[in-house]
Amino acid sequence: MERAGEALTGGDRGPFGPLVTVEWLAHRSGAPGLVVLDASVGAHRGASRRIPGARIFDIDGALSDHSDPLPHTMPAADRFTDEMRSLGLDDDGTVVVYDAAGIYSSARAWWMLQSMGFDRVAVLDGGLPAWEAAGLPVESGRPAPAPRPGTFTARPRPGWIVGGDAVAAALVDPASAVLDARSRDRFSGTAPEPRPGLRGGHMPGAVNLPFGEVQREGLMRRAAELTGMFAGLVADREKLIFSCGSGVTACVLALAARLAGYRDLAVYDGSWSEWGLPSDRPVVTGR
């Protein structure tokens, strides 16, 4: 039997391009070395339906640093290593991540794994909704544990997850662009922030691209569409930093940018949960 990593790699929707289709995953279900991870968050966390054999990549739980007051903070490398080993992930393994909302928090898991030095990871295009729409089987109940601990070791990549100072520098750097994945009303400050105590508006100089706009009918837009979309927003700037409410949907934009051909990318881990706090960080309203 082929290992998952030896499968076809064509186009922007094959490993590690960075998407796979439900047909790709269904064809390789159970392949040696393939780990499927459910990265659902919020109301979808612990959903009653799951792709058979999937294990839980718990962004709301063990895969956030709860010693930090900000939500969804990236855990330390040793903690990340322990969690990935408990999920049975080997250094030479292959991972497909999905979530029950479609493409929402799965992109965060994809980015976290890459930021920790693991490249053999792809997002399931359309997530669980696309899997079910294709008539593919699901399971319920508690997920089975990994048959054995994995050999994964985190190797953090500097600059993939950044803080507020790096974002502040990018906002005045003509070669960089900061893209905000929140809704247009939140970006403009006309809608209240869902987290209490945060200021409304956006960073001066940031560009708004709501994460849903890089998708169509639950699937990521094609690479050519995304290339045009980003070019219209960032012109010739090649260093892109992504922000959102808490560092989750920022990763959907990172996924879209990767599909569009950009490579110098970073995610602002604190996102608006940090920048929007009362402080001397500048905030503006309007478009």
Rounded alpha-carbon distances, angstroms, from residue 275 to 135, 136, 282? 43, 42, 8
Estimate to the nearest angstrom the gap between the alpha carbon of 38 and the chain centroid.
Answer: 12
Catalytic residue flag (residue 244): yes
Catalytic residue among 22, 56, 244, 250: 244
Distance CA 94, CA 118 (A): 9
Q: At what angle do helices 250-259 and 106-115 cross, to 10 degrees?
A: 70
Quote the CA–CA distance of 242 and 266 in Å, as a whole number.
Answer: 6
- In angstroms, what is the C-alpha Rg of the chain? 18
Question: What's the CA gap between 132 and 216, in Å, rounded?
Answer: 17
| Alpha carbon distance 286, 275 (integer Å) | 17
What is the β-pairing status of strands 219-220 and 215-216?
A: antiparallel
Give every CB contact of residue 62 below 8 A, 6+ residues apart in sequence. 75, 79, 83
Catalytic residue numbers, as ranges? 244
